[in-house]
Chains A and B, each alone.
Chain A
């Protein structure tokens, strides 16, 4: 139908409601065909790429024909969506109106949009005028790191490699605030990069990377936690073991006679430590943020090195057990540790730990790392014969001494308390019969 046959009318085109809009949808018609319309009245609601916007009528007249029904989609900007007429009587004449494809009359905004070929329609959004400011990826992609002079200097002053900082400035440039954020976050990745450089400079080293076993991971994390959070201090004392050795050989001769297992120095040490803990219970405690828990049980962990790693099985209520029971339990637990068959009840619940590198390895003295949440650990050095001055001039004696070192959590055990414990322990070792009391 040629519009030249039709009375004067206005073609209402799809409006451009945002700078980026190329097409729109009709969300809802608020006027019906035949309705009177006035400037400022809302004709319909248009969905743009950004929002739903009300389209207002510009001139007075009547809505003669709705060309694009409610729900019509992807209508190009300028495409005719409706016809208005000035004269009410002309409404009927537009009943069968279809917009002409090219010879649009008066209305200048009525573009020949309906007959646009499909391909062009697809292309249009791509060439939308405002393609945002996302410039073609000139982001710092390769090895050049872009940083402001200030950020560069700040990073250099703080020994932070720029490669470990994410830039948030224009085009991903690292700015001062990025370096400050990085420093504030206290990232530890800092050390990761230099090692790579070292690798490339030093001639290849011959090495093997040993994957962590579960026990290695646990040991590492618990000991690191211990050393990082527990304020350790160390007290060392020499104990004369002559009497204890005498008692031990006596006891062992009984054991042999009765077919029992031999009593070790370690067993005697465990017993003496357990009794000392009864005497000075402050050392049989755990620190928590709210309180110090003092245990009434004396459960002593014994450090056992195996091929698989370090285990610390526990001898429960060691203060109440006899030496042969302690000896049997330790041997049994050590065997289980070697077989990797310790159960949680075999190592949980300890309140104090004894580590012995003296007997098996001849270590003279050492400082052990506390086994959290315990508050102390006793490190046993080797026993050795020493010449000691006698009472008169030119007099001397020979005696065997064993150095022991108590590592204490100062949050729980003050120096004098630790010393008191060692005094009690030394008393039991040097006068072993007092353990009977």
Chain B
């Protein structure tokens, strides 16, 4: 039945929350405009009608306030799904995420679980300037106690969000605004209400033998398009969709690099101390003798995101950048 049905990432997220709310009365949604307005990006559409204002909670514009309430609710045994209108606003509440949510299980010697999901669009959208275009993958993935997931397809969105809601620990769930409206083929299995993906496991989206391209979220689509172009030139690229930034699936990455001997990493975030940097370190530590070329790192430009459309494009990884880097990795003089 694969390929027969299609689903947008928006519907995938919406149905995942709906199903988990229906399965577990402890699950509730809170955030700005999640109820009456049906969600700024309509991810929570229809939920207020179905579950009522007690479980679909419209908050004031106070991330520092409602995130604290959410974490407190999780301490007390509920399973909040906190929506940030964008993850840029999560910086208002970062103390709650890191100090209150991520560390409590450890600091209470396992007595306090914090089963909370922080979700919302992350990274650059289009024309929203330096303050609203940031990728938080590397930020949150550097914190022990957090789990950080980043879906690409509709299947990812359903499987990972359901896993995040069911998980007993705090999960940062990084969506991408530009993917919400994109449709993906979805299997019957992924449509089943019991469907769930493992946290910490990457997906090989495309098999290849010459170069491994590792990335996540929207860049998976770019990497797949780059792989098609590379295939036309006789380069077989393997594309790995990380799905989980923390825990990072080092085993899958290293196994692939050991096979292809070449690695290109892609992320929209800044290069310094980024997810790519961590992947690079992992491969150098574990698979040094298998590398046949320097690791190529494609990241967002090391500048605050420009507002001008032409500069914004230049500041973000493009398909051509991935193609060029892959060719550099595979280069041989005649």
Contact = CB atoms under 8 A, between A and B. Distances in A.
Interface string B27-60: 0000000000000000000000000000000000
A150 B288 CA distance: 8
A102 B331 CA distance: 49
A138 to B, nearest CB: 14
Nearest to B331: A170
Interface stretch (B86-94, B137-145, B290-298): B290-298
A178 B332 CA distance: 9
Contacts of A176: 261, 292
Contacts of B292: 148-151, 169, 175-177
B250 interface: no
B332 A149 contact: no
A178 B293 CA distance: 13
Nearest to B328: A170
Nearest to A172: B333
Nearest to A157: B289
A374 B331 CA distance: 53
B297 to A, nearest CB: 15
Contacts of A153: 289
A308 interface: no
A148 B331 CA distance: 12
Interface string A118-156: 000000000000000000000000000000111111000
A163 interface: no
A151 B328 CA distance: 17
Name, among A152, A168, A175, the residue most crowded by chain B CB atoms within 10 Å (CB to CB).
A175
Interface string B257-273: 00001000000000000
B332 A177 contact: yes
A404 B333 CA distance: 61
Contacts of B261: 148, 150, 176
Contacts of A168: 332-334
A273 B332 CA distance: 63
A177 B293 CA distance: 11
A175 B289 contact: no
Contacts of B328: 170
Contacts of A149: 288-292
B209 to A, nearest CB: 12
B240 to A, nearest CB: 19
Interface string A267-292: 00000000000000000000000000
A212 to B, nearest CB: 38
Nearest to A176: B292
Contacts of A169: 292-293, 331-333
**B interface, by DSSP: helix, strand, loop or mixed?**
loop
Contacts of B333: 168-169, 172
Name, among A150, A152, A170, the residue most crowded by chain B CB atoms within 10 Å (CB to CB).
A150
Nearest to A148: B292
A352 to B, nearest CB: 54
A355 to B, nearest CB: 54
Contacts of B291: 148-150
Nearest to B293: A148
Contacts of A177: 292, 332
Interface in A245-281: none
A151 B333 CA distance: 16
Interface in A164-193: 168-170, 172, 175-178
Contact of A175 (B288, B290, B332): B332
Contacts of B289: 149-150, 152-153
A150 B332 contact: no
Name, among B289, B292, B328, B334, the residue most crowded by chain A CB atoms within 10 Å (CB to CB).
B292
A64 B291 CA distance: 65
A176 B329 CA distance: 12
Contacts of A148: 261, 291-293
A177 B333 CA distance: 11
Contacts of A170: 293, 328, 331
Contacts of B288: 149
A152 B332 CA distance: 16
Contacts of A150: 261, 289-292
A150 B332 CA distance: 15
Nearest to A152: B289
A293 B45 CA distance: 95
A417 to B, nearest CB: 55
A210 to B, nearest CB: 43
A152 B290 CA distance: 10
A168 B332 CA distance: 5
Contacts of A172: 333
Interface string B271-300: 000000000000000001111110000000
Nearest to A151: B292
A152 B293 CA distance: 12
A31 to B, nearest CB: 38
A151 B288 CA distance: 11
A169 B293 CA distance: 8
Contacts of B332: 168-169, 175, 177-178
Nearest to B261: A150
Contacts of B334: 168
A129 B332 CA distance: 25
Contacts of B331: 169-170
10 contacts: A148-B293, A149-B289, A150-B289, A153-B289, A168-B333, A169-B293, A170-B328, A170-B331, A176-B261, A177-B292
Interface of B: 261, 288-293, 328, 331-334
Given A148-B261, A168-B334, 12 more contacts: A149-B288, A149-B289, A168-B333, A169-B331, A169-B332, A169-B333, A170-B331, A175-B292, A175-B332, A176-B261, A177-B292, A178-B332
Interface of A: 148-153, 168-170, 172, 175-178
6 A-B pairs with least C-beta separation:
A150-B292, A153-B289, A168-B332, A148-B292, A176-B292, A168-B333
